[in-house]
Chains A and B, each alone.
Chain A
Amino acid sequence: MLSHTWALTASRIRLAMRNRAFLFFSLIMPIAFLFIYAGIFGRGNRQAVPYLLSEVLALTVMGSFWGLSVQLVTFREQGILRRFRVTPVGASAMLASSLLSNYFLTLPTVVIEFFLSRWVFHMAGLGNLTSIFVLVTLGTVSFASLGLIVASVTNTMQETQIINQIIWFLFLFISGATIPFPILPSIVQAVAVFLPATYLVSGLQRAMIDRTAVLDLGMYMASLVGCALIAFLVAAQLFRWDPEAKAPRRAKLWATAAVVPFLLLGVWETFNGDLRAHAMKDLNSIREPYSLERTR
């Protein structure tokens, strides 16, 4: 299985590099986000750059779920997956190659974002690079796995795009990736603590600003790993090669299993957590100079 996975991974990386839409959404758009965030929202405030970069990194990582679900559904609808079914390639190798190729294609964007933050926007520190690397790795795999789940429960590209829009909207606006978590109304915050995206954003902010070590982000990491594992296993179970094969009714039930780690983390966070406190502290790290900049 490993050799099949690597061969497919290499092939899919090559295909993605030739795809203009992929290059736009996975490279140009995240970098454009960085320029908008750091250049326009940051208004030259160097101290705000780590905070804004962590948001851009989270958006880059979260984008994985959209790209992978669309790609897999396209392959299925065009009958491309079907041809692989008469070969020894199994569903797990196909799905694992999706995750790996996506990961290897996301990493260069992350590195470019770091370089630009450092050399164009004069970011002072680099944060805890180990924590950032682990969060980016687990986040990319985890969100890509959610994409595989979306692909496995939808029957058409139209359905896929509708579900993607809803999920993306939630991730974008109530996770802290665009509007800082402490600014969100408390009722929205109560919902946001159940979203994987919230922990990714918060984890990256803590790693960037507080230089938080990997072990201190254990709960976040464990939830990302749990989500990735469950999502991968469910996606492999529900995998469909044929364009005309429909998702069984039980598929949507299975799919919800992938968010169980974050439901548990959300409950824990609601009663014992310190995400709110950390989010406020990280926002305050930029608030004053940021406000000064704005009032000039």
Chain B
Amino acid sequence: MLSAATIEVVNLTKRYGDVEALRGVTFSVGEGEVFGLLGPNGAGKTSTVEILEGLRTPDGGSVSVCGLDPQQKGDEFKFIIGAALQSTALPDKMRVHEALDLFGSFYPRRRGTPELLARFGLEEKKNAFYSQLSGGQKQRLALAMALVNDPRVVFLDEPTAGLDPQVRREIYDIVEELKKEKKTILLTTHYIEEAEKLCDHVAIVDHGKVIALGTPRELKQRSGAVTRITVRMAKPEINGALNTLEGVTECRTEADDYLLYSTRVPRTIVALVKHLEEQNNELVSLEIAAPSLEDIFLELTGRRLRD
């Protein structure tokens, strides 16, 4: 962690009727950090975030945000947080600038509407009704509303769900900017690339439990997931010796390429180079693909994230 915890979640439990949504979730988020809760639908991500936002009460465990209990009375907690809920809804006939003016008026410290409109690319749409906005524009407005009080902590629940790749990239840029401003951000996602690209730390959540926690890099290193090395050679391999190279667990061919799955990448490459010399063969190309968080999730749960 970068510094003292801004968000603390300890042994959090939550039940909806017979369904145990959270079964002892524990993690902490340092100041200025982007923390990702990664998991499939129904894993408990939104329940966790909504407890932290004060929208739901936990059944057990404890949470604090900047040392405050989200359930406490008074406005102090509301002043320091900003939230883009999983589905933000506004009245159809509310104009974009009116929404920002209205929500801004609730806070003593606020960002100006023109600044937010410019920053989120909504200037041209400032007089549009909410119902006239596209999905991406609605999401940008939701993010602008989350920042209207210049909060210390920002909660983004599935900020890019259902958006096309271009809009998703725009949202990534916005989160990157917030990161530069040292905002503490907790985001939930089931997009691997989002967690890998944006988050300093990631908690992989499944069935209401944190099953892995760390930086994306740490998680990959800790994982037993194998790295894929794609090799193309001048002459085809004939005796199947690639399978026996150090660290290689599996070897497949795909057109002219050989796909080597290795648990010890540096040693496999050294062995590969020696092998090619012995065979009087030449390396045409070599590509290394590290295991993704998707591979790690698969390894931990036996399921894919979007199963």
Contacts and interface: CB of A to CB of B under 8 A. Distances in A.
A3 B91 contact: no
B53 to A, nearest CB: 5
Contact of B89 (A8, A14, A78, A241): A78
B98 A86 contact: no
Interface residues of B, number: 23
Contacts of A83: 85, 88-90, 145
Interface in A72-102: 75, 78-80, 82-83, 85-89
Interface in B77-102: 78-79, 81, 83, 85, 87-91, 93-94, 98, 102
B55 A75 contact: no
B98 A11 contact: yes
Given A7-B102, A7-B106, A83-B85, A88 B91 contact: no
B105 A7 contact: yes
A18 interface: yes
Nearest to B79: A88
Given A7-B102, A8-B102, A86 B90 contact: no
A186 interface: no
Most chain A beta-carbon contacts within 10 A, residue among B53, B83, B103: B103
B91 A15 contact: yes
Interface residues of A, number: 22
A14 B94 CA distance: 8
Interface in A1-44: 3-4, 7-8, 11, 14-15, 18-19
A114 B39 CA distance: 63
B27 interface: no
A172 B89 CA distance: 35
A269 interface: no
A80 B90 contact: yes
Contacts of A80: 89-91
A3 B105 contact: yes
Contact of A88 (B75, B89, B93, B145): B75
B247 interface: no
B54 interface: yes
Contact of A86 (B55, B93, B102): B55
B120 interface: no
B107 interface: yes
B89 A87 contact: no
B107 A88 contact: yes
A86 B85 contact: yes
A80 B90 CA distance: 5
A241 B53 CA distance: 14
Most chain A beta-carbon contacts within 10 A, residue among B78, B79, B94, B102: B102
A78 B102 CA distance: 19
Contacts of A79: 85, 87-89
A152 B145 CA distance: 27
A242 B79 CA distance: 21
B108 to A, nearest CB: 9
Nearest to B91: A15
Contacts of B89: 78-80, 82-83
Contact of A4 (B54, B87, B106, B145): B106
Given A82-B55, A242-B55, A89 B91 contact: no
Contacts of B102: 7-8, 11
A180 B87 CA distance: 50
Contact of B98 (A4, A14, A19, A87): A14
A4 B107 CA distance: 9
Nearest to B95: A14
Interface string A233-255: 00000000110000000000000
Contacts of B98: 11, 14
Contacts of B53: 86
Interface of B: 53-55, 75, 78-79, 81, 83, 85, 87-91, 93-94, 98, 102-103, 105-107, 145
Given A79-B87, A82-B89, 6 more contacts: A7-B106, A11-B94, A78-B89, A82-B55, A85-B54, A86-B55
Q: Lowest 10 A-B CB distances belong to which pairs?
A: A88-B75, A18-B93, A79-B89, A7-B105, A88-B78, A86-B83, A87-B106, A78-B89, A80-B89, A11-B102
28 contacts: A3-B105, A4-B106, A7-B102, A7-B105, A7-B106, A8-B102, A11-B102, A15-B91, A15-B93, A18-B93, A19-B93, A78-B89, A79-B85, A79-B88, A79-B89, A82-B55, A83-B85, A83-B89, A85-B54, A86-B53, A86-B81, A86-B85, A87-B78, A87-B107, A88-B79, A88-B107, A241-B55, A242-B55
